[in-house]
Amino acid sequence: MPAVRSVTVYAGSSTRASAEYLALASELGRALAREGWVVVYGGARVGLMGALADAALAVGGRVEGVILDTFARVAHASLHDLVTVHDMRSRKAGLAHRGDAYVVLPGGFGTLEELSEILVERQLAMHHRPLVLVNHAGFWDPLLALIDRQVASGLVKEKYRQLLTVVPDVAGVVAAIVDYARGDAPDAPVIDGDDKLRG
């Protein structure tokens, strides 16, 4: 069975995030820490990122971050490990390599980019880790509708829908990762010969 020691979380860092989304991030941070999983994230002390880290640390969890040097002014000062990098490619690679599972909270363009990259890498069998999308209050409904349209248009194969595990809440996140660790998660679809050349 695959071991889960750490979970990489992608989330927004906007200081204008609503209290509802901040509370969701805090709940996730506490839940992951209480499961004994290291929380890996973008290293900021603001927005959903900051709420996630603060909550995990408050219950004794280990939290690690990877942050751009240009964002050092908003880096969290209390992390167990914080890596500073010079470009986004290095940051995304650092976050991806540290996680045994991936969770996506509400966020902006950066979160969407990170989700897309991890999803494509899963599609191409570059990893087999779970990718869990937290569709709190329907936040990601427009993206899911776009995926449905991509499938209906023949641009994405139907079988790749299952690569993205969609859950409504933090309890669903924990259950999805536990299922993966127990070997109960659905098998990944088999890649066809031309799948590495097209979506």
| 136-188 tens-digit pLDDT | 999 999 999 999 999 999 999 999 998 999 999 999 999 999 999 888 765 55
Does a structural domain hold residue 164?
yes
Give the integer Cα–Cα distance in Å for 199 and 196. 8
Answer left, alpha or beta for residue 137, where phi above 0 means left and psi between -120 and 50 means alpha: left
User: What integer pLDDT is reported at residue 186 of this predicted model?
Assistant: 58
**What percent of the chain clears pLDDT 90, i.e. is strictly above it?**
88
Q: Domain containing 55 — which CATH number? A: 3.40.50.450
Total domains, the chain: 1
Residue 123 pLDDT > 80: yes
User: What integer pLDDT is reported at residue 102 of this predicted model?
Assistant: 98
pLDDT band of 80, cuts 50, 70, 90: very high
Which two tokens mark 77? 């000062």
Does a structural domain hold residue 31?
yes
More confident residue, 66 or 1: 66
pLDDT band of 199, cuts 50, 70, 90: very low
Does a structural domain hold residue 194?
no
> Hey, how many other C-beta atoms are within 10 angstroms of the C-beta on 186?
11
More confident residue, 24 or 188: 24
Residue 87 pLDDT > 70: yes
Does a structural domain hold residue 199?
no
Does a structural domain hold residue 190?
no
Does a structural domain hold residue 17?
yes
Does a structural domain hold residue 92?
yes
Domain range enclosing 178: 6-182
